[in-house]
Chains A and B, each alone.
Chain A
């Protein structure tokens, strides 16, 4: 009886874990099968012989490496820019002594959190078109960076508020100016919050689909989410190849996750709860 009581939560949780992992296993197996027929006849089984040719074919046909690189550097640069801008702004608003103006600016920036991203989609499209940057990476870099600002400022400002004044005062006595104070004292102390915000923003841009789909039509500039949809649509009937594409696009994220899971979970939940 006692064993049953101890085991039953695990049984339920393992069923849940199986539901999470099942699609991945199915896709992985299918990616190694030679034909649609083999997938259809043996959907749950291990491939009869490992057919790695799919991986070669997908890599050559799919340009997944191009999409992957585009996503990686867009997400990195926009997350990094967003973090730096937000940190500078938060520093000015929280640590510098212009309380009245700062309060107004802070509230002004937070209004952005009320506006759901999709609502601005058409207007941003028109803006990007007017700026003449449609179909360049600027068309994604700028909205991604801007889109992350309100939450980032909020999180970083909250963190900076908790830093005691004494350190700063000592540094002032030592003759540090306002810029040096920022990057020699405050920035290093805020690092945990910066990492958190970086991860939240990185994942946000990495996974973004709507803007990426409509602001970029050149194949060489596409990001992974849109590139993969295009890949699926052009190889609609070769299921093994589509599965290989999925494996290619999912694996790097999973590897990253394996290394950074604690930070990612912590970062994303902090962003979600406070945002």
Chain B
């Protein structure tokens, strides 16, 4: 008699739907992207194979170079500024007994809300005339700032909103790792006379390195992907000052003159960037997994 766990019919029935759906919406688009990227297709039936022209065109567009730079600002901001804050607040929450649940629950709220609603919400908070940020600054006699319409301020404003949305999410990840550590070590160090700060720096942080590394990776991946918040808050403006690669892609490919060939070329570039950054990170900092 056949063993029930060796039933080719069942095996196939269980696997096929997933494989079909997955191939159709992951593998097939990936393959067609790699093909269309080398054509001048604009949605009409006739298209030409044009080699690397799309890539050359994109890289010689100063707007795209600016978009790459803005993605780099997202990375710098989230890794350089957010990650230290995340670790700091996670340590703080881990070390209080009272209200721990309250903090943990509250800080997580922004990350369950839709990015587009958060964009609208903050667009209102940052409104030049009636937004509370300017009203507050007005108390000190500061003239209203056009946060999202001023080339100088638009990107910093979006960076802060993006941080507002995601810092709590990562805090909870790091917090979970800290709370999972065995308590004995910490107690032993306390008996040996180490201060809270010393314990955090010499004991806890080294022990949660793997999760910090995950947070950095996720931040980089998130910074490469960022688009919703930009589309909703500024749509890349004013004059391209908040354009990121993905919003450039959307605006080029889905604009008045859709250029799918160009769009797919840009998406391959984003993919390549993401892979290279991940690889660099893995090779330099990510291999502390002994």
> Which of A's residues lie within 8 Å of B, judged by CB?
9-10, 12-13, 16-17, 19-24, 26-27, 30, 36, 39-40, 43-44, 85-86, 88-89, 91-93, 95-98, 105, 109, 111-112, 114-127, 142-143, 145-147, 149-150, 153, 168, 172, 176-179, 181-182, 203, 206-207, 209-210, 213-214, 224-226, 228-229, 232, 239, 242-243, 245-246, 249-250, 253-254, 257, 261, 264-265, 268-269, 272-273
Contact stretch, chosen from B74-82, B112-120, B147-155: B112-120
Q: Is A257 touching B109 in the complex (CB atoms < 8 A)?
A: yes
Q: A20–B227 contact, CB under 8 A?
A: no
B18 adjacent to A89 (CB under 8 Å): yes
State in angstroms the CA–CA spacing of A120 and B31 once bound together: 10
Cβ of B18 and Cβ of A109 under 8 Å apart?
Answer: yes
Contact of A20 among B106, B115, B221, B270 (CB under 8 A): B106
Contact A209 B115 (CB under 8 A): yes
Known A-B contacts A19-B164, A225-B115, A254-B109; A210 and B132 likewise in contact (beta carbons under 8 Å): no
Q: List 21 A-B contacts (CB under 8 A).
A: A12-B92, A13-B92, A26-B124, A36-B130, A40-B130, A88-B13, A88-B15, A96-B10, A105-B15, A109-B18, A111-B26, A116-B224, A117-B225, A127-B28, A146-B25, A203-B112, A207-B115, A232-B120, A250-B113, A261-B108, A268-B112
Interchain CB contact (< 8 A) of B25 among A109, A114, A143, A226: A143
In the complex, B285 has a CB within 8 A of chain A: no
Tell me the complex Cα distance, A111–B29, Å. 13
Of chain A, the residue at the smallest CB distance from B110 is A20
B232 within 8 A of A: yes
A257, B112: Cβ atoms closer than 8 Å: yes
> Which of B11, B26, B211 touches A120 (beta carbons < 8 Å)?
B26
Smallest beta-carbon distance B110→chain A, Å: 6
| Contact between chains at B95 and A178 (CB < 8 Å) | no
* Further 17 A-B residue pairs, CB within 8 A, beyond A40-B130, A44-B135, A268-B111: A13-B103, A16-B103, A30-B124, A85-B17, A96-B14, A119-B268, A120-B33, A121-B249, A127-B28, A146-B25, A149-B22, A176-B4, A178-B10, A209-B231, A239-B130, A272-B169, A273-B173
Among A9, A111, A172, the residue within 8 A (CB) of B92 is A9
> Please, how many angstroms separate the alpha-carbon atoms of A77 and B168 in the complex?
28
* A138-B176 Cα distance, complex, nearest whole Å: 37
What residues make up the interface of B, taking CB atoms closer than 8 Å to A? 3-8, 10-11, 13-15, 17-19, 21-22, 24-30, 32-33, 36, 89, 92-93, 95-96, 98-99, 102-117, 119-125, 127, 129-132, 135-136, 164, 168-169, 172-173, 176, 211, 214, 218, 221, 224-225, 227-228, 231-232, 246, 249-250, 253-254, 260, 263-264, 267-268, 270-271, 274-275
User: Which residues of chain B are near A91, meaning CB under 8 Å?
Assistant: 14
Which A residues lie within 8 Å of B127 (CB)?
239
Residues of B within 8 A of A123 (CB): 28-30, 32-33, 36, 264, 267
Given A43-B135, A226-B116, decide whether A86 and B18 contact each other with a Cβ distance below 8 A.
yes
A93 CA to B11 CA in the complex, in Å?
8
Structural contact, B6 and A92, CB atoms closer than 8 A: no
Asked if B25 contacts A127 (CB within 8 A), the reply is: yes
Cross-chain contact B109 with A20 (CB below 8 angstroms): yes
Q: Which of A16, A39, A226, A253 has the most CB of B within 10 A?
A: A16
B264, A122: Cβ atoms under 8 Å? yes
Q: Which chain B positions have C-beta within 8 A of A30?
A: 124
Within the assembled complex, what's the spacing in Å between the Cα atoms of A101 and B8?
Answer: 11
**CA separation between A143 and B21, bound complex, in Å?**
8
Q: How far is the CA of A168 from the CA of B96 in the complex (A)?
A: 45
Instruction: Please state if A261 and B25 are interface contacts (CB–CB under 8 Å).
Output: no
- CB-based contact B112/A253 at 8 Å: yes
- Select from chain A the residue with minimum beta-carbon distance to B221: A116
Are B26 and A115 interface neighbours, CB within 8 A?
Answer: yes
Q: Are B10 and A118 in contact (CB under 8 A)?
A: no
Do A10 and B260 contact each other (CB < 8 Å), given the known contacts A43-B130, A172-B4, A206-B114?
no
User: From A177, which residue of chain B is reached at the shortest CB distance?
Assistant: B4
Cβ-defined contact, B105 with A261, below 8 A: yes
Q: Per a CB cutoff under 8 Å, which of A26, A150, A269 touches B176?
A: A269
Q: Is the CB of A39 within 8 A of B32?
A: no
B267, A142: Cβ atoms closer than 8 Å: no
**10 closest cross-chain pairs (CB), A and B:** A123-B29, A146-B25, A92-B14, A207-B114, A225-B116, A122-B263, A40-B130, A178-B10, A88-B14, A89-B18
Q: Specify the chain A residue showing the minimal Cβ separation from B114.
A: A207
Determine if A118 and B113 form an interchain contact, defined as CB atoms under 8 angstroms apart.
no
Q: How far is the CB of B216 from chain A (nearest CB, A)?
A: 13
Contacting residue for A146 out of B6, B24, B123, B173, CB 8 A: B24
Question: Whose C-beta in chain A lies nearest to the C-beta of B127?
Answer: A239
Return the contact of B267 from the options A20, A118, A153, A269 (Cβ within 8 A). Answer: A118
Minimum CB distance partner of B100 in chain A? A13
CB pair B117 A146 closer than 8 Å: no
Do residues B109 and A145 form an inter-chain contact, with CB atoms below 8 A?
no
Bound Cα distance A264, B227 (Å): 24
Smallest beta-carbon distance A97→chain B, Å: 5
Interchain CB contact under 8 A, B36 and A172: no
